Amino acid sequence: MPDRDSVLAALVADGQSLVHDQLPDLIGLAETVATVARDDPRHPVGLVAALIRVRTLLIDQLRTEAGIVYPLIRLGGSPMLADMIRAVQAGQADIEQELDRMLSMTGGLKPPPDVTPSWAALYVAIGVMADRIRRRHALARTEVYGPLVAQP
């Protein structure tokens, strides 16, 4: 099992990659698909906005984690750490709720038959991104936050 500093560094690196690389590319692809499919009633209205919201929520989460929570953990804690962790966990729940909303609006990420390859690729990419975010949150909950919040 990696040490806590390694886990924290990996969480920050993964979060930065999500918000600076994967999500902007995904948003761009979603905008392209929305433009091409704007007259197709099967295209989920609001998908681009949902992706932008996920990115915004992740940016806020990363700022709190990397700027406040992780430094406090590295310093050995603080009386306010448990409250900060609960706030981050609430933010994680908001992100996962938005991911669930995207799953719902896309029919479980199953593209309709006969759509463009970019539309089908968008749904695959959203699934990969959602899984990645959920794994990141699970790692933070089990390896970082859980043990700290459980402490008296």
pLDDT tens column, 59-85: 999 999 999 999 999 988 888 898 999
Q: Which of 40-44, 139-143, 147-151 has the lowest mean pLDDT?
A: 147-151
Torsion of CA 91, 95, 97, 100, to 10 degrees: -160
The pLDDT of residue 89: 93
Average pLDDT, integer, range 108-131:
96
List the chain domain ranges.
4-150
The pLDDT of residue 135: 97
Q: Which residues are CB-neighbours of 34 under 8 A, at least 6 positions away?
A: 43, 47, 48
Alpha-carbon gap, residue 12 to 84, rounded angstroms: 16
Question: Which tens digits make up the pLDDT trace of 26-58?
Answer: 999 999 999 999 999 999 999 999 999 999 999
Instruction: Give pTM, 2 decimals.
Output: 0.91
The pLDDT of residue 152: 43
- SS percent in the chain: helix, strand, coil, step 5: 80, 0, 20
In CATH, what class is 4-150? mainly alpha
Alpha-carbon gap, residue 102 to 29, rounded angstroms: 15
Average pLDDT, integer, range 120-136:
97
78 CB neighbour count, 10 Å cutoff: 14
